């Protein structure tokens, strides 16, 4: 009997479909029943994290996230996973709302970065909101690592917004490539794709980087936890 994984989704909706595809692809199966059961909230109505953290918005998404977690548990979730890096800033509100465990994409990714980095630096390809709230700084520091962020945050935000509105296009790809190359130039060749919008265009990271996707670290843990 597999455990049912609850997905706190919709941030964005493409990334939620992507994690479902990755979970499916990661599971050897002969029939439907070999696949991992999921209950997925494609919750497109969570207040914008970018507005709250970067634009002085007054609507804190915590209450909506806690409500989503409660509904997923009511829907049968045994374990929660959230395919959105930025929203992990509100993880305490989610964990406080339910009694089932929630996987920690941030800590899983920092531990993986620690297995790769040789010079103590990790490039973080994520939303400027993630840099502003220091989402990865503490967890990386506990592994003796230092986060290095892309400097052109206006460009990063433009790319994220374009990915949300029109999907993968050359401009967003060029922005991600430039950010990744700049991090390499500053010594951060180990890099994390730390925004699930960028998870839609992983091939646009610089070929000089040793990059991984935080979403893939979450998927790896989902595959383990479903059978735990």
The residue ranges that bind a second copy (CB under 8 A) are 2, 10-14, 16-17, 20-21, 24, 29-46, 48, 71-72, 74-76, 161, 164-165
Burial, 204: exposed, middle or buried (Cβ in 10 Å; 0-12, 13-18, 19+)? buried
Least Å distance between CB 106 and a second copy? 20
**Smaller CB distance to a second copy: residue 89 or 112?**
89
Shortest distance in whole angstroms from residue 224 CB to a second copy? 17
The nearer residue to a second copy, 30 or 118, going by C-beta atoms, is 30
The rounded distance, in Å, linking the Cα atoms of 102 and 228 is 14
Q: Looking at beta carbons only, is 62 or 206 nearer to a second copy?
A: 62
Q: How far is CA 198 from the centre of its chain?
A: 9
Q: How far is the CB of 36 from a second copy (least distance, A)?
A: 7
What separation, in Å, do the N-terminal and C-terminal C-alpha atoms of the chain show?
10
Burial of 85 (0-12, 13-18, 19+ CB in 10 A): buried
CB of 32 to a second copy, least distance (A): 5
Residue closer to a second copy (CB basis): 4 or 143 = 4
Question: By C-alpha distance, which of 224, 187, 222, 228 is closest to 21?
Answer: 222
Angle between helices 153-166 and 170-185 (to 10 degrees): 150
The smaller minimum CB distance to a second copy, of residues 44 and 208, is found at 44
């Amino acid at each position: 009997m597999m455990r049912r994984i609850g997905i706190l989704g919709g941030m964005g909706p493409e990334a939620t479909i992507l994690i479902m595809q990755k979970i499916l692809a990661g599971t050897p199966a002969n029939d439907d029943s070999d696949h991992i059961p999921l209950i997925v909230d494609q919750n497109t109505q969570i207040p914008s994290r970018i507005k709250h953290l970067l634009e002085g918005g007054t609507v804190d998404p915590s209450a909506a996230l806690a409500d989503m977690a409660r509904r997923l548990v009511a829907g049968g979730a045994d374990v929660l996973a959230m395919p959105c890096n930025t929203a992990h800033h509100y993880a305490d509100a989610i964990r406080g709302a339910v009694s089932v465990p929630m996987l920690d994409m941030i800590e899983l990714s920092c531990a993986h970065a620690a297995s790769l980095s040789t010079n103590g630096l990790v490039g973080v390809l994520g939303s400027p909101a993630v840099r502003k709230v220091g989402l990865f700084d503490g967890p990386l520091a506990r592994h003796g690592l230092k986060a290095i962020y892309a400097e052109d945050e206006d460009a990063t935000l433009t790319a994220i917004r374009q990915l949300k509105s029109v999907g993968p296009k050359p401009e967003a790809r060029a922005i991600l490539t430039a950010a990744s190359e700049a991090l390499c130039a500053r010594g951060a060749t180990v890099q994390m794709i730390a925004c699930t919008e960028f998870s839609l265009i992983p091939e646009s990271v610089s070929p000089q980087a040793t990059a991984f996707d935080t979403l893939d670290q979450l998927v790896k843990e989902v595959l383990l936890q479903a059978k735990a």
